[in-house]
Structure 1
Amino acid sequence: MEALLQSSSVPPPRAPADVKGSPRQESVDARSASPSVIEKELANLVINETGEQKYIGPSSGFSILSPRGLAWIERKTGSMRMKTILQTIQRAGPFWASFRIGHQWDGDQSARFDLPSKEATTYLVNHYFKCFNASFPLFDRFVFWELFERQYSNNPPTKRSWFGVLNVVLSIGCITATASIRTDIQTRDPFMSTDMSDWPWRFFKNACSVLLDIIFLDTDLMGVQTVIGMAFVMQAIMNPEGAFALIGIAARLATSLGLHRWLPGFGLSKVELEQRQRVFWIMYILEKDLATRIGRPSAIDDDDIGFGPPSGEIHGEGEIAISLPSINYNKFYPFQRMCTLAIIESKVYKELYAVSSRVKTASERLRAISRLDAELQEWKENFPIEVRPEHSLQCDPESRFPIIVLHFGYYHCLAAIHRVNAHHELWLADVESDSGSGSPENPSTAAKRSDRGHTSYSLCLASARSILHLSVTYLDDWSDPRNKLIWIAPYFPVSAFLALFAHMLQSPLDPRAAGDQILMERILGCLNRVITLEDRSIVQFLATMIGELFVIARQHVDNVKARLSSPNSQQSNFGAEKGEMNPIPQGFVNPLTEMVSPLPDTTTPSQYFPTNELVTSQPHTTNLFNISSFPASDQTMGQNDNTLADFPDSMMDDPFFLMQDYDWDWSY
């Protein structure tokens, strides 16, 4: 424990004698490369055999795949199988963009593909504005159509950035097109009768052909819009590296145009000022979301933004009906809520996951979690009840896409706030002077941290279950092209799957394990059906990977149950190290005595891929969707459950010490 505390403390200033080559420096270098130090790291640097690299920070939902998480999995299962799987992933082609799309680059960045006929292009553009721009108003419809009409005239626009804008619109339109829409397009333009899966990439390459011009020559609003649209395309084809790089470029271009400020009096009309504001906030939403999901710092300074998110409708667009007109006709504007949520996500990364946050005391971090949780709950409570997270959706199916995006964002942000407490790495630092014993009326800081460790992981688990429930309930409907915008970048369901995977390893006897397995199996079934998408290799890769994880978790549960049912099995308890006999809480298994034999190599993930029977089976009777099904915080105000008071300190060091569903109150 002392070593762990020292490892996360701020290193002392280097003495003048500590120069390169000195014995002290060599000792530090050797220590930094030791496995014991690496295994404390919740970030990950993945390097393949050709030298390509990816950094995934601790704020990502994939932090369980970090050295720290892998070491924990190995301790829980007694097997190195997970590490072997990750080594395979590291070498796997689909994990790297150079494998999936490298063959599509011919090195000639000036090459362009011909545009479709005006009729087919008009059909795609209309589909884009209906499907995508209604939720993310990247383009002004009237300005776009004026330039579009000129494109098919004798006087086409000459700006290079317009060519980029037109092609990103066509690319996103193709990506979100269903089979029926593609058939309609092909009837309008026989030239597009070839494989439609190639067309999004062709239009994207057309946009790429003017990227250097946009960066160095055409510094205008359409250039920023083009790069933002290209980032959306990269995210859609599951290339987060490309999306992150492009949105960073867009952020620099946006600030070079002053999009982060409201600038009246410089010859811009109010309509132009409002469009600049919307473009900035769309860029902000995508950039902050990507930064949090990948675990990397943002390129946007929140302290230098001169206006708030836009409100109200945009030329009659941007609003959705949230209830039947005969009952209570209301309008809701999801874009504004997306902006506000992105602001909260930015605060979460800065206050809980940035390197500077590690120098805070434990109490300061608890207060930060409390403050961010309260801000997120206030954001949620301002939703109409019909579309509020933690409640069933009551809106027009045509309007469902932005609401589901907001629900995913809420659960992901909630988990990000509390994961830092449940995964603990920031709690290894200072042991404060106020962590001594306390009375029931005034519990100690350590007791508060213990109780809040329970509630934090309860919230993380509830969020994961809700994300999976949303996915299997709404996203498995291919008649709605908007669903593809979420599924083709399946970060949310996969990260939620990983959270339940970790929970099954920690608490294999949890009464809700059966319901969790059903959700996990259904997500596997959904992923297998998504293999009809353009980029099949990455979806097959993801399905195979989480299938392997499901094998590990399911067999771990079976092994623990078999061992406990054995006549010779003896249950140990958490107080054994102290010579005490403390009862084990229901659903917990002592991780210190839970080491099982390695999983047999003959087991294949295909054995556990969901069949039709699994996919159509009824959900678990537990309410998996509504977090509000847990007791409200005002019902437990002042209560202090010290179930873990007698647990060894080393148990609380485990980054995936998963808790049961306890009452919570995060007021501080």
Structure 2
Amino acid sequence: MASASVDLPSSSNATSERRTVTACSQCKVHKRRCDGALPACRRCLKLFKTCTYEERRHRGPGKAKLYVQQLEQRLRSVEKYIEKQPPSQIVLAESEQIPDEHRHNETSEPTGGAENHGDHTTSSSQIEAGILDKDDSSASPQAPTQTAPDPTPGFPLGAFASELETARKNMLSSMDKTPFRRRIFASLPGKTLTTDLVHPIVCQIQPYGQVFSAEYVLHVFIDQDSAGQSNHSDNASRWAFVNASFARGMLERIDSRSFATMSTLAWTHFKNAFDVFPELIIQTQDFSACETLLAMALFTLCSADDQTSSQLTGAAARVVLGLGMHQEAYYSSLNDAVAEQHRRIFWLTFILNIDLMHRCALPSPIRHNDISAELPGSIESVAPRDGLGSTLLRHRAELSIIQSRMYELLHQRQNLAHQLSLLRLEAIHLVWIDLQSVRESIKALTQRSNDGKQGDTLSVAEISLIWTYESCAMKLHMAAARTLRAGKIDSHFVRGDESLVQAYLFSRQAPVLCYESAHDLMRYTDELSTHPFPSIWATLCFLLSAILALFRRILDDPTSQTVGQDSADIASFVHFLYKLKKQGSRVETLIDGCIKIHNFAVRAVSVQSSGATMLDSEREAALREEIASIESIRNKLSQVDDFLHLAQGLLSNIPGIRNQAAEVLSDILGEMTSNDAYGCFVPEIMKSATHNFSYGV
């Protein structure tokens, strides 16, 4: 019960006149006013009751004043601080001004009486609402946000704290605590259409060797149909795999004449898959996530968006490394059939990363020295389910290991000392010897093509394997010739060492062998033209690199006997592009660029022959200007270490190689626009942004 206070008559003694803080037990029970007299109150004396006083529960005597005393103490501290400041530095808002009638002397003590307590309570409340308003505002979250006071020399920390508190409240009020949401950009059609579209061409949509069998893909599509064509919540990996495979199958099925209109639909289904990409790399890092990432990468590799392809293949590499699939110990707990499928997934991940490294100069996250896993097809108890598809995958894996070694060797810093240059030549020659073993493996493919049997044309996967080998040979030959020239190595440096002699002889023949590989790359264009344009696009960089290498040889020696054949090969490639255009492919920009290169080569030969004739002064000045232009481009091309990177810079959106291509070929092709992320040979239809694969506002 609340405490009661009674004013006794003046005739009572001093003890009975004091204010009481409690009532006796009898008065509490009957809920009567107690005068608190000692030794007994008047009511107990009148009724002859035993008068006893008990201590109040929950609150001790005098505790009611504690909060008021604390407020008064805080008020005195604030007044002391204000009195120490110069008057010019005391700036208070209008709502924070302290009335004079509520200001107290810092040495005054609170006095008794209810009125005095009310005064002290009022003044402390005003201080709390003014200078110390932050304490009260935090107690009521729904109070209106107040503007933070301007920083002043008097209160630098207080102003900052006020601004920080205001910012915190604003951030909390606008914070969205919900998780990421998935979005469906296009609904999948019925099971009949999806399976009939993709199932027959499972092998064709895997240009690096077959990893996913037709039965497996069909099983995944049926599972998705059973769960619901728009059900993306049960299994994110399955949903993304089905959409990516369906989109890739659409690209393979689309006729070149309707590619411009139908490819956007394929990209829309791919956006369904890519919407799950953050979830795959953050929450679903398992074997199924790696399968899905590879299916998505196989789609983007058919476009010019190598940036997205590198992110997908790099993410897949991180997943397999995290699972330990690069080590043979990972497969010890799996049965043979499952282990073989997991090996295929790992090796396809490695192959795709090495392919981007080979074409785009992007180092692979997986190094060949870290791999202890067996090659695919190594388990004798598991019969190959797809014949040639398994063989191609194994050949690509063997070639990718050599490509990885070659990249590390060719990108080491070259020392011009004779002895170190000799060691580099020897290392290049050893890689070349290993590369010949892959050549023996693909002889059967080239022989089958040369036989020319009906229905025995090479697939894109087989052509890509052959051309990848030839491009590796070009890289090694260029590196050997450059090392020999930079190190100024002569025959007397290698006497007495058979391995060095072989390396030296190889490097002497390297320039000729390089251009022979370029000529070999121009083969199989007729067979390639029979395939869908998205599959052709992924291989055009090899042909273009051969064109650029032959173009350089023409500029190096316009009077050479090989000029006629080199120029004819460039013209042959232009005719091949015209054939694709006639079929409906959008290759106009590529045709225009190659025509400029061919015309420049023809002009260089013409200028060289004109130099021997007598000309008037005006024509002689024009001739000197043309010779200077040809010499400038020749010097730029002589600095190129890898023509495949130069070609891919014209056909992709990797900034480094794109900028290199723009710098080297700008005098021929014209200045490339800086606001376009792609090389100047990329048609609009092959850019992902054309199909709204981008982020809007």
Bin the TM-score by the shorter chain. 0.5 to 0.7
Corresponding residue number in structure 1 for 2:599: 551
Q: For 2:250, give the aligned amino acid.
A: C
**d(CA) in 1 for partners of 2:292 and 2:584?**
22
**d(CA) in 2 for partners of 1:358 and 1:366?**
12
C-alpha change, 1:436 and 1:286, in structure 2 (3 Å) is closer
Is residue 138 of structure 2 the alignment partner of residue 138 of structure 1? no
Any residues of structure 2 matched to 1:116-515 within 5 Å, and which? Answer: 116-133=189-206, 136-154=209-227, 158-179=234-255, 195-263=261-329, 268-311=334-377, 316-320=384-388, 333-355=391-413, 361-385=420-444, 387=446, 396-397=455-456, 400-422=459-481, 424=482, 426=483, 452-471=506-525, 473-477=526-530, 480-481=531-532, 484-515=534-565
**d(CA) in 1 for partners of 2:588 and 2:437?**
39
**d(CA) in 2 for partners of 1:600 and 1:369?**
35
**1:562-612 alpha-carbon deviations (Å, 9 max, x no partner):** 223x2689xxxxxxxxxxxxxxxxxxxxxxxxx9532899xxxxxxxxxxx
Q: Give 1:545 shift.
A: 2.4
Q: Give 1:374 shift.
A: 0.8
Corresponding residue number in structure 2 for 1:561: 609
Q: What SS is found at the alignment partner of 1:236?
A: coil
C-alpha change, 1:535 and 1:112, in structure 2 (3 Å) is farther
Aligned residues: 446
Corresponding residue number in structure 2 for 1:597: 625
Q: Give 1:443 shift.
A: 11
**d(CA) in 1 for partners of 2:193 and 2:463?**
30
Decide whether the 8 Å contact of 2:558 with 2:605 is kept in 1. Answer: yes
Q: For 1:148, give the aligned amino acid.
A: F
Q: For 2:386, give the aligned amino acid.
A: G
**Greater mean deviation of Cα atoms: 446-455 or 151-160:** 446-455
C-alpha change, 1:283 and 1:358, in structure 2 (3 Å) is farther
Q: For 2:460, give the aligned amino acid.
A: F
C-alpha change, 1:395 and 1:369, in structure 2 (3 Å) is farther
Q: Give 1:270 shift.
A: 2.4
C-alpha change, 1:307 and 1:388, in structure 2 (3 Å) is farther
**d(CA) in 2 for partners of 1:123 and 1:163?**
18
**d(CA) in 2 for partners of 1:298 and 1:398?**
32
Q: Give 1:428 shift.
A: 6.9
Decide whether the 8 Å contact of 2:558 with 2:604 is kept in 1. Answer: yes
Any residues of structure 2 matched to 1:100-119 within 5 Å, and which? Answer: 110-119=183-192
Decide whether the 8 Å contact of 1:248 with 1:287 is kept in 2. Answer: yes
C-alpha change, 1:399 and 1:450, in structure 2 (3 Å) is closer
**d(CA) in 2 for partners of 1:110 and 1:657?**
45
Q: Rg bigger for which structure?
A: 2
Decide whether the 8 Å contact of 1:285 with 1:339 is kept in 2. Answer: yes
Q: For 2:516, give the aligned amino acid.
A: A
Decide whether the 8 Å contact of 2:302 with 2:535 is kept in 1. Answer: yes
Q: For 1:476, give the aligned amino acid.
A: S
**Greater mean deviation of Cα atoms: 297-306 or 128-137:** 128-137
**d(CA) in 1 for partners of 2:275 and 2:358?**
30
Decide whether the 8 Å contact of 2:208 with 2:396 is kept in 1. Answer: no
Decide whether the 8 Å contact of 2:208 with 2:348 is kept in 1. Answer: no
**1:9-68 alpha-carbon deviations (Å, 9 max, x no partner):** xxxxxxxxxxxxxxxxxxxxxxxxxxxxxxxxxxxxxxxxxxxxxxxxxxxxxxxxxxxx
Any residues of structure 2 matched to 1:643-662 within 5 Å, and which? Answer: none
Gaps of 5+ in 2: 1-179, 617-622, 630-634, 643-697
Decide whether the 8 Å contact of 2:244 with 2:270 is kept in 1. Answer: yes
Corresponding residue number in structure 1 for 2:655: none
**Greater mean deviation of Cα atoms: 360-369 or 349-358:** 349-358
C-alpha change, 1:376 and 1:166, in structure 2 (3 Å) is same
Q: Normalization by structure 1: what TM-score? A: 0.59
C-alpha change, 1:195 and 1:596, in structure 2 (3 Å) is same
**1:271-320 alpha-carbon deviations (Å, 9 max, x no partner):** 22111100111111111121021123221121221223212798654324
C-alpha change, 1:215 and 1:534, in structure 2 (3 Å) is farther
Q: What SS is found at the alignment partner of 1:152?
A: helix
Q: Give 1:501 shift.
A: 0.7
Percent identity over paired residues: 22
Corresponding residue number in structure 1 for 2:686: none
Q: For 1:474, give the aligned amino acid.
A: E
**d(CA) in 1 for partners of 2:383 and 2:258?**
28
**d(CA) in 2 for partners of 1:534 and 1:215?**
38
**d(CA) in 2 for partners of 1:271 and 1:460?**
42
Structure having the higher helix fraction is 2
Decide whether the 8 Å contact of 1:387 with 1:393 is kept in 2. Answer: no
Q: For 1:179, give the aligned amino acid.
A: D
Q: For 1:168, give the aligned amino acid.
A: A
Decide whether the 8 Å contact of 2:290 with 2:316 is kept in 1. Answer: yes
**d(CA) in 1 for partners of 2:258 and 2:398?**
35
Q: What SS is found at the alignment partner of 2:524?
A: helix
**Greater mean deviation of Cα atoms: 261-270 or 511-520:** 261-270
C-alpha change, 1:450 and 1:306, in structure 2 (3 Å) is closer
Q: What SS is found at the alignment partner of 1:132?
A: coil
C-alpha change, 1:417 and 1:109, in structure 2 (3 Å) is farther
**1:58-87 alpha-carbon deviations (Å, 9 max, x no partner):** xxxxxxxxxxxxxxxxxxxxxxxxxxxxxx
Decide whether the 8 Å contact of 1:412 with 1:463 is kept in 2. Answer: yes
Q: For 1:139, give the aligned amino acid.
A: F
Q: For 1:376, give the aligned amino acid.
A: L
> Which of 569, 575, 599 is matched with 1:525 structurally?
575
Q: Give 1:148 shift.
A: 1.8
C-alpha change, 1:551 and 1:150, in structure 2 (3 Å) is same
Q: What SS is found at the alignment partner of 2:611?
A: helix
**d(CA) in 2 for partners of 1:332 and 1:230?**
21
C-alpha change, 1:258 and 1:264, in structure 2 (3 Å) is closer
**d(CA) in 2 for partners of 1:395 and 1:404?**
17
**d(CA) in 1 for partners of 2:298 and 2:392?**
18
Gaps of 5+ in 1: 1-106, 184-193, 321-330, 570-594, 602-650, 659-668
**d(CA) in 2 for partners of 1:195 and 1:137?**
29
C-alpha change, 1:454 and 1:395, in structure 2 (3 Å) is farther
C-alpha change, 1:534 and 1:167, in structure 2 (3 Å) is farther
C-alpha change, 1:384 and 1:450, in structure 2 (3 Å) is closer
C-alpha change, 1:316 and 1:363, in structure 2 (3 Å) is closer
**1:312-331 alpha-carbon deviations (Å, 9 max, x no partner):** 798654324xxxxxxxxxx9
Corresponding residue number in structure 1 for 2:176: none
Q: For 1:149, give the aligned amino acid.
A: I
Q: Give 1:476 shift.
A: 2.2
Q: Which has the higher contact order (CA 8 A, sep 6+)?
A: 1
